[in-house]
Amino acid sequence: MNNFIFQNATKVYFGKGCVKEYLACLTKEADTILLAYGGGSIKRNGVYDEIMDILNKEGKTVVEFSGIMSNPTYAKVQEGARLARENHADMILAVGGGSTMDCCKAVSLQAKYEGDIWEDFWVRQGVIECEPLPLGVIVTVAGTGSECNGGAVITNEEKKIKMGRDYPKLNPAFALMDPTYTFSVPTGQMVSGSFDILSHIMETYFSEPDEDNVSDDIMEALMRSVIRNLRAAIKNPKDYTARSNLMWDSTMAENRVIKMGKKCDFECHNMEHQLGAYSNCNHGKGLAVIHPVYYRHIYQNGLAKFVRFAENVWGISSEGKNEEEIAAAGIHALSEFIKEIGLPTTLKELGVKKEQLKEIADSCGISQGSYKIMTHEEILQIFEECYE
């Protein structure tokens, strides 16, 4: 194992009924709460009413910050920070999936920071010396794992840049995770979110070191869990075991545990983020299109790990195959799984414009953790192979 320092400040309350049981005590010190959510699904499925009933009984002043979009923008962050400051909010309570949580982490910083957080903390890695506004989250969609890290992906529409940073100081103080809250998530959204979980794990797995290490062992188990439980959840969206496992898979993928001692790749995320910045395409769907093609470009540079992926995650037999054939079979199994669960396989299906591919490719960040360091020319080649 490589050297590392591990920290996670978020306290998780997991299971059926956890919001009713714990929310009142967790918000005890806050008089005014900025309640943040997305497009209003929590009002249709009863989650909003349940939360408001608890907060009202506790005499809280609630300021609503709604309409957080699937790719939260820097302008939306500024809107939330203004609301928090003007109403003297004591706490932010983010209810939703990764977009809401990410947006609110940035809001929690901007509400307390006088400068431009985009330039000072996203364009370049900064040092947070102020104390962000306290943040708690209630998870309603499994996918990003944002509930247990300080990561926030924000889109600067003006600059056409979608970028993520992870600051431990932006970790939520607490995360309430009731798997039944995910039951009402549409199947398509549940599937794309679950592929994001798988992507997070693969982005970490396919990187050095390749010597025997705990992180790789955990990741193989997590990948098998995502595949098994996603299939079960598609068959029965209210399968509590499957949904609770997917919810915890999501957290485990991004609570920093599996990243310990790993270089991490995340080139697919770099590419998809820029596709999203230009086209606002769905994140999980974009990743599903990119991953198999990208892996066909790099697998020979990390052959031993791709062989292990094929054998230990997909159960590919090595009999009668050389290492390259085993590795290719694993990538093929991933590609077939993407088709099986109904995700798109081309950028054309996502509405990406072909004439923009070079501009998007040129704007992508280059990961230094990949088995093969990309060039913008090769990224363009991957996009063109993904197009149709």
The model's pLDDT over 375-386, given as tens digits with 9 standing for 90+, comes to 999 999 999 999
Report which residue type is found at 19.
Answer: V
State whether residue 353 is helix, strand or coil: coil
For the chain, the first-to-last Cα distance in angstroms comes to: 41
Is there a contact between 354 and 284 (Cβ–Cβ < 8 Å)?
Answer: no
Point out which residues pair with 387 in neighbouring strands. Answer: none
**How far is it, in rounded angstroms, from Cα 369 to Cα 208?**
8
Q: Which two structure tokens, joined as six digits, stand for 276? A: 């999203």
Instruction: Tell me the per-residue pLDDT of 303-348, one tens digit each, with 9 for 90 and over.
Output: 999 999 999 999 999 999 999 999 999 999 999 999 999 999 999 9
Per-residue pLDDT at 226: 98
H-only helix segments in the chain: 18-26, 41-44, 47-57, 74-86, 98-110, 117, 187-205, 214-235, 240-254, 267-279, 283-298, 303-312, 323-340, 357-363, 376-387
Single-letter amino acid, residue 302: G
In this prediction the pTM is 0.95
In the chain, CATH 3.40.50.1970 sits at 11-182
pLDDT in tens, 245-272: 999 999 999 999 999 999 999 999 999 9
Give span(s): CATH 1.20.1090.10, the chain. 187-387
Residues in the chain: 388
What does residue 85 show for φ and ψ, rounded to 5 degrees? Answer: -70, -45
Neighbouring residues of 228: CB distance < 8 A, sequence distance ≥ 6? none
CATH number of 187-387: 1.20.1090.10
C-alpha 108/C-alpha 121 separation (Å) is 13
The listed CATH number (3.40.50.10470, 3.40.50.1970, 3.40.50.300, 3.40.50.2000) that belongs to domain 11-182: 3.40.50.1970
The pLDDT assigned to 4 comes to: 86
What are the tens digits of pLDDT across the range 345-369? Answer: 999 999 999 999 999 999 999 999 9
Residue 19 has pLDDT above 80, yes or no: yes
pLDDT tier, 90 (very low <50, low <70, confident <90, very high otherwise): very high
Convert the pLDDT of each residue in 65-76 to its tens digit.
999 999 999 999
Provide the 10 A C-beta neighbour count for residue 133. Answer: 21
The DSSP secondary structure of 61-103, one letter per residue, reads EEEEE----SS-BHHHHHHHHHHHHHTT-SEEEEEESHHHHHH
